[in-house]
Amino acid sequence: MLCREEAGGTVEVGQYKRHSAEFKAKVALEAIKGQRTLNEIAGEYGVHPGQIIQWKKQVVEELPGLFASKRSREAKTEEELKASLYQQIGQLKVELDWFKKKAGVAD
């Protein structure tokens, strides 16, 4: 398997290239600016225009989260944790009831 470091944060593995987050951000930002066409950007960085579109879309979707308040991010994380814990409690209750039934233990 071929592995080598290329300029711009790109690693070539076999026939595929793996790009660093910094490289993707740089290319996506240039596409968002709109000063050059996708084909020009793709030619300069050696990336398919479709890949640039995906990176650009990802950046645009994630931008609002950068400006969300810390409090709202913490609240969201707390809600996700609660939901996960309630799901685990439910699963454990179902398993306990099943074991009680198999063991013949009455409530």
> What is the DSSP secondary-structure string of 11-69?
EEETTEEEE-HHHHHHHHHHHHHTSS-HHHHHHHHT--HHHHHHHHHHHHHHHHHHTS-
Beta bridge partners of 18: 11
* The predicted structure's pLDDT at residue 5: 45
High-pLDDT (> 70) share of the chain, %: 86
pTM: 0.55
* The predicted structure's pLDDT at residue 6: 53
Same domain? 20 vs 61: yes
* The predicted structure's pLDDT at residue 7: 55
Same domain? 11 vs 46: yes
Q: Name the token pair of 98.
A: 């099943």
Domain, as residue range, for 43: 1-67
What is the number of domains present in the chain? 2
Nearest partner of 60 among 28, 34, 36, 91, judged by Cα:
28
Under the banding of pLDDT at 50, 70 and 90, the label for residue 26 is very high
Same domain? 52 vs 20: yes
Of 7 and 78, more confident:
78
